[in-house]
């Protein structure tokens, strides 16, 4: 017998292609509620056919926090555990039992594993802990975009963690995210001291190639008293470097990457970025040094900033190229083979191995 009443709630708009897979995943809950925000396809009909409680809401002008709060308002008051997901997300089977085992009467919310998306070969882009499972009362969503749960209860806010609960995100890349910039600008106006969305806004300016705005915003992020998380500060510095590189200010870009390394020397990301810059500059000693330093880092952080590319073939590939240019052919071959192990079907990497082997067979000197 279940110890708790569990309700899944979500918002939707034109999600018909996700309905069946999502409902199959969520049906371990006692109740599934969807607040539809104006679908023009068959989303609503398909959800109702699958036994989902569907409510219609209007949010104009759009903001995610208001939509999620309206959807949560439909969750019955006697619900013990609320599970907020989107229709392009699915749980691995068995999540309900794991949730109940991890939950206690004192728990206010639960952290679980979340995979943001997947590469074409099925490997995850990034996986980190997420926290959209919470108790029914004393929670509201805040911020127009990249919304989070705010706790207002008088009891301590007690997290439980069950990393074996795994929610997987399969985003619809055909959907526009053009409104994110406006929503992030609104968030920065309403909450100028909220460092996370200031960081996101700077990143969004970078995506939109608004380099001056990005530099100003990310520099502002670094100045905020609450911006103390080194991983995110490092990311802001890397994004500033990309902006300066795009503006042709190469030395400024390199200087910011050295700052990023100093900020979080346990992360591979700034090392691989500076190695790439070195490659574009034909600065092979710089590439070699960054590859060597980056590969000494063996542990992933498991945060949303953990970039899959830093743990794939790229560092080994850059190492092979730099060593070849430096005449270090034996080390180049070792790196080239490791790169190929990470990406065995890549013809360029196969050719690199063959070229370096040919160089070695011709008795090229090892320096």
- pLDDT tens for residues 218-275? 999 999 999 999 999 999 999 999 999 999 999 999 999 999 999 999 999 999 999 9
User: Looking at the predicted structure, is the pLDDT value of residue 366 above 60?
Assistant: no
pLDDT, one tens digit per residue, over 3-47 is: 999 999 999 999 999 999 999 999 999 999 999 999 999 999 999
Looking up residue 65, the CATH number of its domain turns out to be 3.90.550.10
Average pLDDT, whole number, for the chain? 95
Helix (H, G, I), strand (E, B) or coil at 293: helix
Bond before 123 cis per omega within 30 degrees: no
Distance CA 96, CA 190 (A): 37
Is 1 within the bounds of a domain? no
Distance CA 164, CA 173 (A): 27
CB 26 within 8 A of CB 85: yes
Do 192 and 287 fall into the same domain?
Answer: yes
pLDDT for 57 equals: 97
Structural domain of 25: 6-169
Looking up residue 237, the CATH number of its domain turns out to be 1.25.40.10
Do 66 and 121 fall into the same domain?
Answer: yes
pLDDT for 1 equals: 62
Q: Please count the structural domains in the chain.
A: 2
Is 316 within the bounds of a domain? yes
Is 315 within the bounds of a domain? yes
Is 351 within the bounds of a domain? yes
Do 156 and 203 fall into the same domain?
Answer: no
Q: Looking at residues 293-300, what average pLDDT do you find?
A: 96
pLDDT for 367 equals: 39
Is 95 within the bounds of a domain? yes
Percent of the chain whose pLDDT exceeds 90:
89
CB 269 within 8 A of CB 310: yes
Choose between 94 and 119: higher pLDDT.
94
Domain boundary among 119, 138, 169: 169
Do 306 and 283 fall into the same domain?
Answer: yes
Q: Looking at residues 178-199, what average pLDDT do you find?
A: 95
Do 213 and 151 fall into the same domain?
Answer: no
Is 119 within the bounds of a domain? yes
Domain boundary among 115, 148, 169: 169
Domain boundary among 113, 144, 169: 169
Is 366 within the bounds of a domain? no
**Measured distance between the N- and C-terminal CA atoms of the chain, rounded to whole angstroms:** 70
């Amino acid at each position: 017998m279940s110890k708790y009443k569990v309700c899944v709630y979500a918002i939707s708009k034109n999600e018909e292609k996700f309905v069946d897979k999502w409902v199959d995943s969520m049906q371990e809950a006692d109740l599934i509620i969807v607040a539809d925000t104006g679908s023009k396809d068959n989303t609503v009909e398909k959800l109702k056919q699958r036994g989902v409680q569907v409510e219609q809401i209007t949010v104009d002008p759009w903001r995610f926090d208001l939509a999620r709060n309206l959807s949560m308002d439909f969750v019955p008051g006697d619900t013990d555990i609320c599970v907020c997901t989107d229709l392009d997300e699915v749980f691995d089977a068995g999540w309900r039992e794991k949730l109940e085992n991890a939950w206690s009467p004192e728990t206010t919310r639960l952290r679980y594993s979340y995979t943001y998306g997947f590469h074409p070969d099925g490997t995850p882009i990034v996986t980190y802990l997420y926290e959209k499972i919470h108790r029914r009362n004393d929670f509201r969503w805040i911020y127009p975009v990249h919304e989070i749960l705010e706790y207002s209860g008088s009891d301590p806010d007690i997290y439980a963690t069950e990393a074996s609960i795994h929610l997987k995100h399969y985003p619809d890349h055909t959907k526009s995210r053009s409104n994110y910039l406006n929503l992030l600008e609104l968030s920065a106006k309403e909450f100028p001291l909220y460092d996370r969305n200031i960081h996101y806004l700077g990143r969004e300016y970078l995506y939109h190639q608004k380099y001056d705005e990005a530099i100003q915003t990310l520099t502002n992020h670094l100045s905020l008293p609450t911006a103390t998380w080194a991983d995110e500060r490092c990311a802001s510095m890397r994004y500033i470097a990309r902006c300066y590189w795009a503006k042709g200010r190469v030395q400024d870009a390199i200087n910011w990457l050295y700052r990023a390394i100093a900020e979080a020397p346990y992360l591979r990301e700034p090392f691989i970025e500076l190695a790439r810059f070195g490659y574009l500059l034909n600065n092979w000693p710089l590439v070699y040094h960054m590859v060597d330093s980056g590969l000494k880092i063996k542990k992933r952080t498991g945060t949303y900033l953990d970039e899959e590319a830093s743990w794939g073939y790229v560092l080994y590939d850059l190492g092979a190229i730099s060593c070849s240019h430096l005449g270090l052919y034996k080390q180049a071959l070792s790196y080239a083979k490791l790169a190929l192990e990470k990406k065995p079907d890549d013809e360029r990497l196969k050719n690199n191995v063959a070229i370096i082997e040919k160089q070695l067979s011709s008795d090229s000197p090892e320096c």
